[in-house]
């Protein structure tokens, strides 16, 4: 795990601590199943990472959870409200930050936040906007037009608008896509501050370093939930044995390894190659001749979260591919 990983979450609580509890969610568009039989639970006060490649069904799932989209099948609750019959009550208590900047580009930061406060019927919209600006470190930019902000500042403003009405649950749909590393880290510092104050956060991402900063996570690929739990649980459950290989002509080595019995994954990681398999004895038999050849340096290591997800993807089927599903 990277140095950015957070401490383990608090001990598991009772069912009264569950904020999201859904079972069998399924959604199709144009005859294609985008989310298939998804079941998940998210406890109060956690940062819950929702991972998967583009087109995997993350956004569709988030929209079903917050009442913006009705599932074809399945049931469940969000904040104690039925997602099928009480969607309006859910919407009033959830902050949803979309992938694209959705505030008014021709209004200033202050004007946008005042507008949000008025839409939600908050007392003293100007005072509420001023407090949000100070909290987010935007005081020097309060009168700057939102459309002229950089990606990182837009992201910070969008987060401020989401939390201004005081939601009980924050849904963030790939909020750091296209944002520089410094802005991403600042954003995550703010998310952890919100979680410490008791807010539950569900955030979708495809960055592994961000996944490691979540208390728990789930991985969805092609509409199916493949695994969920803490980072440690997800890695342990994979059963992968991993070797890190360095040396010359790693591309040639990768070609030699792919397809060998016992080798489930071969992937370049910087100037090294990660070679993994689920059956240690079969993996050892596959790599032993190459280790003994002495052309490369082999080091036994722990599988990374990225190793696990690459392996999961290799076993998954594209829901938009042809043929039987």
pLDDT digits (tens, 9 = 90+) for 241-282: 999 999 999 999 999 999 899 999 999 988 999 999 999 999
Model confidence at 323, in pLDDT bands (50, 70, 90)?
Answer: very low
Other CB atoms closer than 10 Å to residue 192's CB: what's the count? 14
In the structure, what pLDDT confidence band is assigned to residue 7 with cuts at 50, 70 and 90?
very low
Give 93-138 pLDDT, tens digit per residue. Answer: 999 988 788 899 999 999 999 999 999 999 999 999 999 999 888 8
Higher pLDDT, 99 or 233: 233
This model's pTM is above 0.85: no
Q: Which CATH number fits domain 16-235: 3.40.1280.10, 2.60.40.770, 2.60.40.10, 3.40.50.300?
A: 3.40.50.300
* pLDDT(148) > 90: yes
Mean pLDDT of 191-213: 90
Q: Which of 98, 94, 64, 97 is nearest to 168 (CA)?
A: 94
Average pLDDT, the chain: 87
pLDDT, residue 3, reads: 39
Distance between CA atoms of residues 113 and 10, nearest Å: 33
Residue 199 pLDDT > 50:
yes
Report the C-alpha dihedral over residues 63, 64, 70, 76, rounded to 10 degrees. Answer: -160
Residues 304-320: what's their mean pLDDT? Answer: 74
- Map out the domains of the chain as residue ranges: 16-235, 240-302
pLDDT, mean of residues 4-15: 41
Percent of the chain clearing pLDDT 70 (strictly above): 92
* CATH 3.30.70, domain 240-302, yes or no: yes
Q: What are phi and psi of 127, to 5 degrees?
A: -65, -40
Q: What is the dihedral of CA 235, 239, 240, 241, to 10 degrees?
A: 110
What is the mean pLDDT of the segment spanning 13-33?
84
């Amino acid at each position: 795990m990277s140095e950015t990983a957070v401490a383990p979450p608090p001990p598991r609580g009772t069912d009264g601590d569950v904020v999201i509890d859904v079972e069998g969610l399924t959604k199709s568009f144009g005859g294609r199943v985008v989310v298939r039989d998804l079941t998940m639970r998210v406890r109060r006060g956690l940062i819950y990472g929702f991972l998967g490649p583009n087109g995997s069904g993350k956004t569709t799932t988030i929209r079903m959870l917050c009442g913006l989209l009705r599932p074809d099948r399945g049931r469940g609750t969000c904040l104690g409200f039925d997602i099928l019959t009480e969607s309006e009550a859910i919407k009033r208590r959830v902050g949803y930050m979309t992938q694209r900047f959705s505030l008014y580009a021709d209004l200033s930061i202050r004007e946008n936040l005042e507008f949000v406060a008025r839409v939600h019927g908050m007392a003293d919209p100007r005072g509420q906007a001023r407090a949000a600006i100070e909290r987010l470190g935007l005081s020097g930019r309060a009168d700057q037009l939102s459309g002229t902000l950089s990606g990182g500042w837009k992201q910070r403003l969008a987060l401020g608008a989401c939390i201004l009405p005081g939601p009980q649950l924050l849904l963030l749909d790939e909020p750091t896509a296209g944002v520089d590393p410094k802005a991403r880290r600042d954003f995550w510092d703010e998310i952890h501050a919100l979680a410490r104050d008791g807010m539950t956060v569900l955030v979708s991402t495809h960055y592994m370093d961000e996944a490691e900063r979540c208390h728990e996570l789930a991985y969805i690929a092609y509409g199916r939930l493949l695994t969920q739990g803490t980072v440690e649980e997800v890695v342990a459950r994979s059963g992968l044995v991993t070797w890190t290989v360095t040396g010359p002509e790693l591309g040639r080595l990768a070609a030699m390894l792919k397809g060998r019995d016992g080798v489930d994954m071969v992937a370049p990681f910087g100037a090294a190659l990660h070679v993994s398999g689920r059956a240690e004895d079969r993996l050892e038999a596959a790599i032993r001749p190459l280790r003994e050849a002495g052309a490369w340096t082999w080091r036994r290591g722990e599988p990374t979260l990225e190793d696990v997800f690459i392996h999961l993807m290799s076993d998954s089927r594209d829901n938009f591919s042809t043929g039987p599903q």
